[in-house]
Structure 1
Amino acid sequence: MPLLLYTYIATEILAPFFASFLIINAILFLGKLVPLLNMIFDFGVGSGDFLRLCAYMLPNLMLFSIPMASMTAVIVAVTRMVNDNEIMALKANGIGLVRLLPPVFVIALATSLLTYFSAVTLIPQGTLAMKTLFIQMAKEKIDQGVQPGQFSEGLANVVLYIDAVDPQTRQWQGVYVSDMRHGDTPMTIVAKTGTLTAQPEKMLLTLSLADGTLHRANENITQTIRFDRYQVNLPIKAPTEIAGTSLSEVGKNGLSQAQLLEQVTRHGAKSVIGMGMLMEYHVRMAMPAGGFILTILGLPLAMLARPGRRPVGVPLGLLFFVLYYVLFTAGRAIAESGHLPVALGLWLSNILMAFFTVMLTRQVAKESVPLFLTRLSGPALALLARLPGSKIGGKLP
């Protein structure tokens, strides 16, 4: 009987989880769409590359969408069971809230592990892959934009001109470069051949020139240098970031957990860089743990519903979800100011929310409702009433 019951509850939770996951990710993605649209217009991104960029962005969204979808799924599933009197039937057979915890615990553990995997593995890999794709698209744009017999456009303070392009090797023949990035010291380069290469690991586009001369002028002094090989790092025009992530450097988002700790050791935990790396290390562990706690919290919140009355689990869940991230942000700010150790500051919201979850679970299991939740029922129902198609129909007992 328990295994059959647990399977049934888990199945009821999974359906709203996937629905919530898709909806929440769609909403979050809309907020990131504007910089992507700018990039599409600037670089002429095709549908294939656009889908790849969306896939690389997804791990960053999953850090928030998975915990929220997991908590919402538990609330929706259990509230539905309450409204259909299934929970009442289970209680009549001696199955209370505590005995309903195992399937919710398993769902919470699975979603938190998925969030952790996304944070420590998918986000660094996605960040590096996104930057690599961007630098490759930038190279293709420059490579295709430079036409024989025409002066190039789109490179800030750099003008390119080539006589011809080898159709097989894509090597440039007869290259002229006017580099005005150094202000009062303009530089002109003339070379027999040139090749454009991308260095994703350094986030650079490099023009390798062969057999040429470099001419540089500074006030009344001019220099002419002959070279066999010479490299010029080309500037990349906007966008400089995608979805809030800088494209000019790899940054801490592209580092693994071990690499973050190496940077902390290298720069020192008290330094600005070291503290930033240490905070990123703890954030990747604290947020999945927070998702686990919030998912468990969804069960007692859903059990507050009563048949025939308007459920308040969803608005209360949203309220506590926002409260958790407010506490998380506050703890992070306190840790950054140095008033708390980094680990304590970033885990403080988890500690407080875990304490509250245990307390609420015990009270709801005893069929009692905390007074402050009763007082919150009014604002929660008012929030629910603002949703499209909602009707107020009761309050917490």
Structure 2
Amino acid sequence: MFNVLFKKLDILIIRSFIGPFVITFFIALFVLVMQFFWLYMDELIGKGLSIWMIVQLLMYMSATLVPLALPLSVLLASIMTFGDMGENFELVAIKSSGISLLRFLAPLGVFILLVTGGAFVFNNNIIPVANLKALSLLYDVRNSKPTLNIKPDQFNNDIQGYSIRVGSKDEDGFTIHDIIIYDHTDMVGNNKVIIAKEGQMMPTADKQTLIFRLKDGWRYEENYKGGMHDAEYPQTRMHFAKWDKVFDLSSFNFTRSNQDLFKNAYQMMDVKQLYEVLDSFDRNSDMSYKAITSYVAPYMTFNNKLKEDSLLKIKLAGVKTPARAYDSSFLKLIPEDKRLVMMQTVSNNMRNLKALMDNNCLNEKLQKEKTMQFSVEFHRKFALSFACMLLFLIGAPIGAIIRKGGLGLPLVFAVVFFITFHILNITGEKLAKSSSLPPWAGMWMSTFIMAPIAIWLVITATNDSQIFNKELYLRAWRKVRGYFPSKKSALAK
């Protein structure tokens, strides 16, 4: 009988959780995607992107935001589920049957454990591909030219090599008046100018070219035959009744970059690839330290050991010169005609050695920053996956304590705890990337700080504590206020 009861309770709690979990997940994902859209709106509008291209970008970005939306949905759904059960006295009935809160949490804990494992698989296999697609597409969008938009009484320089101004446009958007076109394609200034009273802008069907059909105008052209300093610049002036000026718009086409150029970034790798890259960084670091000795050796000749058969050592062996002491400066031992050459040689050697060491230190600094980025990404995949279990252990006891369902009070607690978790996570990541903390400590800092809170909340909910009960604090405040008589009672006395 108890086994049947437990099975029904397990099914009840899981069914009660799945509904809010799915709804809150898509709501959280939608909010995060809209946040991205508003952040990059200025760079997306006016680029002539098709609806399918925008849908692709939002779809890829949605996949990259799943690691953040999943813990938030787990937290909010946990508070809503247990808050609703507490509000309907279901938790009271279950506890009165002798079933503890921990036993009641067990089936949902197993379910969240599966969600945590699924989150890790998603972070490790799907996120790198989604990042590759999303970031490469976002890079192409941000670097694409805006669509050509020629406004009245403004010079437009969007078409390379040309500066175009129209005095006015008719309501049809094609007929233009008072046109001035400066042709800079020869790279010698305003040597070609086109002026027309009116005309029409006619883009071709494939949007590759733009035709200005000009009427009643003049073409001016100066020929620089003798160079920029020649005093005579012959000028040619031609009148036309009708003339078509064709502009190439192929540079406005949206082109995709080769995605292979982005594959070596840390965001595009799974755990295995990150581990291999970090291992290669460690080996290269060891080799760079060993290579410093070979770099310095040519400039530190006093420390070099001469071979037995070297010509210098043979010559030094035949010289018998007594040791000479010097009182103030070693330069006194060098002939005056060679001192300047010796000092220049030493100065050049020290300058070269300093430049070599500075370059090696810079490379080591860049390598360390790169190592930090890859190491942070390695721990991120584990930390954000485990966040689902952590926030569940926070949300479930909070819901059991506040005993309020719906999206009111549970949403407030969910937002507060998630923002706290997110701020701690971002702070730890920045501290790790700045080398203030080891990567593992920075990425797991939020977990280390909030895990004791989760344990305390579970213990508090198990003991039926009323820490979030408003009446508890109001009674305490009335009791404290009773020790301090008010002004009216003092005057009455």
Q: How does 1:271-282 map to 2 (within 5 A)?
A: 271-282=368-379
How far 1:263 sits from its partner (Å)? 2.8
Match of 1:285 in 2: 382
**Could you state the TM-score of these two structures normalised by the residue count of structure 1?**
0.62
Q: Paired residue for 2:266, among 252, 272, 275?
A: 252
Match of 1:67 in 2: 71
> 1:108·1:296 contact (CA, 8 Å) conserved in 2?
no
How far 1:374 sits from its partner (Å)? 6.7
Say if 1:97 and 1:278 are closer, same or farther in 2 by CA, change over 3 A.
same
Query: Could you list the runs of 5+ residues in structure 1 that have no partner in the other structure?
Result: 146-152, 159-177, 181-234, 241-245, 379-397
Deviations 1:268-305 (A, max 9, x none): 48711011110111111111111211012111100112
Q: Equivalents in 2 of 1:271, 1:313: separation in Å?
A: 43
Q: Give the letter aligned to residue 112 of structure 1.
A: T
> 1:67·1:111 contact (CA, 8 Å) conserved in 2?
no
The range that moved more, 282-291 or 127-136, is 127-136
How far 1:113 sits from its partner (Å)? 2.6
Asked which structure has the greater RCO (Cα within 8 Å, sep 6+), the reply is 2
> 2:262·2:268 contact (CA, 8 Å) conserved in 1?
no
Three-state SS of the structure 1 residue aligned to 2:444 is: helix
Q: Paired residue for 2:280, among 221, 243, 266?
A: 266
Match of 1:17 in 2: 21
Q: Equivalents in 2 of 1:330, 1:131: separation in Å?
A: 23
Q: How does 1:208-219 map to 2 (within 5 A)?
A: none
Say if 1:53 and 1:336 are closer, same or farther in 2 by CA, change over 3 A.
closer
> 1:16·1:73 contact (CA, 8 Å) conserved in 2?
yes
Match of 1:148 in 2: none
Q: How does 1:110-259 map to 2 (within 5 A)?
A: 110-131=114-135, 249-250=262-263, 251-259=265-273
How far 1:154 sits from its partner (Å)? 6.3
Three-state SS of the structure 2 residue aligned to 1:355 is: helix
Q: Equivalents in 2 of 1:58, 1:42: separation in Å?
A: 22
Say if 1:272 and 1:133 are closer, same or farther in 2 by CA, change over 3 A.
closer
> 2:144·2:254 contact (CA, 8 Å) conserved in 1?
no
Three-state SS of the structure 2 residue aligned to 1:338 is: coil
> 2:78·2:395 contact (CA, 8 Å) conserved in 1?
yes
Three-state SS of the structure 1 residue aligned to 2:465 is: coil
Q: Equivalents in 1 of 2:429, 2:9: separation in Å?
A: 41
Is the counterpart of residue 58 in structure 1 residue 52 in structure 2? no
Match of 1:303 in 2: 400
**Could you state the TM-score of these two structures normalised by the residue count of structure 2?**
0.50
Deviations 1:43-92 (A, max 9, x none): 43333332222221112211111110111111111111111111111111
How far 1:334 sits from its partner (Å)? 3.1
Deviations 1:126-162 (A, max 9, x none): 12223565689899999xx9xxxxxxx968789xxxx
The range that moved more, 6-15 or 317-326, is 317-326
Say if 1:247 and 1:55 are closer, same or farther in 2 by CA, change over 3 A.
farther
Higher strand share: 1
Match of 1:342 in 2: 439
Rg larger for: 2
Segments of 4+ in structure 1 off by > 6 A?
Answer: 134-142, 153-158, 235-240
Q: Paired residue for 1:328, among 417, 421, 425?
A: 425
The range that moved more, 75-84 or 42-51, is 42-51
Match of 1:8 in 2: 12
Q: Equivalents in 2 of 1:34, 1:10: separation in Å?
A: 36
Q: Give the letter aligned to residue 437 of structure 2.
A: L
Query: Could you list the runs of 5+ residues in structure 2 that have no partner in the other structure?
Result: 149-156, 163-184, 188-249, 286-366, 474-493
Match of 1:216 in 2: none
How far 1:35 sits from its partner (Å)? 6.0
> 1:85·1:307 contact (CA, 8 Å) conserved in 2?
no
Q: Equivalents in 1 of 2:45, 2:116: separation in Å?
A: 37
User: Percent identical across equivalent pairs?
Assistant: 22
Deviations 1:78-132 (A, max 9, x none): 1111111111111111123111112321332233233323322222101222356
Is the counterpart of residue 82 in structure 1 residue 86 in structure 2? yes
What is the aligned-residue RMSD (CA, Å)? Answer: 4.1
Is the counterpart of residue 29 in structure 1 residue 24 in structure 2? no
Q: Equivalents in 2 of 1:330, 1:238: separation in Å?
A: 41
Deviations 1:359-381 (A, max 9, x none): 221222122355xx679x98xxx
Q: Equivalents in 2 of 1:334, 1:60: separation in Å?
A: 23
Q: Equivalents in 2 of 1:39, 1:311: separation in Å?
A: 36
Three-state SS of the structure 2 residue aligned to 1:368 is: coil
Q: Give the letter aligned to residue 265 of structure 1.
A: D
Q: Equivalents in 2 of 1:106, 1:75: separation in Å?
A: 17
Q: Give the letter aligned to residue 258 of structure 1.
A: K
Q: Equivalents in 1 of 2:394, 2:448: separation in Å?
A: 13
Three-state SS of the structure 1 residue aligned to 2:402 is: coil
Say if 1:92 and 1:271 are closer, same or farther in 2 by CA, change over 3 A.
same
